[in-house]
Structure 1
Amino acid sequence: MTLRIVVGAGGLVGTAIARHAANTDGDAVAVDLALATAPLSAEHLQLDATSEDFAQWLASAIADRSRVELYYAAGQVAPLCRVTDTPPAAFEKAMHDLVVAYTVTSRFAETTRQAGIAASIVIIGSIGAHQAHRYMIGYDASRAGLESVARGLALEYGQHGVTTRVLAVGPIAESATTQADGELLPALARLVPTQRYAPIDQIAAAAIAYGGPAFDYANGHTLRLDGGLTIQLRPSDIERRPER
C-alpha cells in the first residue's frame, strides 16, 4: 500500500495536498510544526521534518510499504522588497528554505533507497524559478535552487527506484499573496492565457497525480502549472492583432 507524506502541511498548498492525499487510495500523513486547524482526514505528525525524530519515524513508517511518496510544500514567501533594501541576511534567510528542502528530501531519498522501496518526491516550486518576480529576488533564487536539488537527487537516486520532480506553480486564486494584489487582480488574471488563476484544489489534485508511478519517468524534470503564463512572449493586451 502507498504511503503519502506531505511536509509543509500547515500552509495553503500543503494543507490542500494533505486533504487530497487522504481521499485517495493508501495512507496519508501530514507533517508540519504548525498544522492547519481544519481536519485533514490524515494522520498528523507535528514536528520538525529536519529532526532526528522525523528520521526515526520515517524509517519505521515505510516498513512493509510497496511505495512511498513525499510531497514537499514547505517554505515562506517574503514581503516585497527592492534589491537595494534586501541585505545579505534577508537573502540568506530565503536560502534557508532551500537548505531545509535539501535536508528533508535527501534524507527521504536515502532512507527509501536503503529500504529498497519504490519512492517519489514532488517538490512544490514556483514559476519564479523561471521568470523573475519584481521585488522577490531571494524567493525566486531559492525556488530556482529547488529545481537544482531535484535534478541532483534524480541523477543519484533514479537508479534505485527513487524519482524526483518539481511542480512549478503559478498564481493561486486563494493565496494571501494573490489576494494582496487587490484591485490589480482582474488585470493580472488577464495576463494568463486561461484568463484565470488556478484554484488550490486543482493544484493539489495535480500534485498527487504527478507524484504517482505514471510520472516516474519524469525524473528530474519540472512541470509548470501556470495556465500558460510563462510560455508567452507578451500578454494579449499588448499583442499586435492579426490582419485578417
Structure 2
Amino acid sequence: MKRPILSAVLVPAVVLISSGILLATAAAPTHKLGRTKALPKGVGTKIAGLIDKAGYQIASPKGPVCSIWLVKDVPIRDKFKPTLSVKYPFTAGQLVGLLQVHTKTGYTDFRGQELKPGVYTLRYGQQPEDGNHVGTSELADFLLALPAKVDQDPKPIFGFEDLSSKSAQSAGATHPAIFSMVPGGKKPIKTAAVTHDEDHGFWILNVPAPAKTKAKTKAVVNLKFIAIGRSPE
C-alpha cells in the first residue's frame, strides 16, 4: 500500500519541476549584451579621439540591434546634487557617446521616431519645462541622437534650439531623437548589463561610465538609459 502513495507524491513533484523549467525558459531574456573592439566608420576625427573603442552591442535573436560607445572620461559637474527630475551630473549639450543602429527597419527613439541604420552622436539634454512634454518621462534627463556626419565638434552644443534642431535630423522630423535616461541608483554598477522592463517592454543599458570633474577628480557614474523601447504616450 505504501508504493502507490509514493508514486502519488512523486508525480506532482515532477510536474512542478517541469513547470519551473518551462517558466524559466519563457522568462529568459531575448536580448544580450556584447562588447565591441573598434569604433564605427563615419565618426569625426576630433570626436573619435575622445571615445572609448570598447563599446557595447545589444543583440536580439535575429542579430545586432544597436551599439553604444562612451566618452573615455565623461565630464561631470563639480559638487552636483541630484533633484527630483535631474539625476545626472552632466552639462546640457555635452558629448556622452556614440550610437550605431544596425537594424534596417523598426529601430526607434523613445518617442517612436524611426532611426535609419547609421552612426549618431549621443549628447546629454534636459526636457524643457514648457508644458509640451508632460508625461513623456518622470526625469528631465535625456540623451539626444545627432547624425555623426553633421556633428563633428566634440564641444558642448549650448542652446536647446540648436541642439534640438540638429538632433531632429536623425529622424527626419521636427522633434529631436531622444532616449530616456533612468535613475542610476546608489549601488555601484560593477558589470555592464542590459535589463528588461517587462511592464513597458523596455531594454535598458546599465553601464559604469568612467567620469572626471573639472578639477580632474575621477569618478564613476551609473549610466542607465532605455536603448530599445518607446513611450506609450
- TM-score in terms of structure 2 length: 0.29
Q: Which has the larger radius of gyration?
A: 2
* TM-score, with length taken from structure 1: 0.28
Between Structure 1 and Structure 2, the one with more helix by share is 1
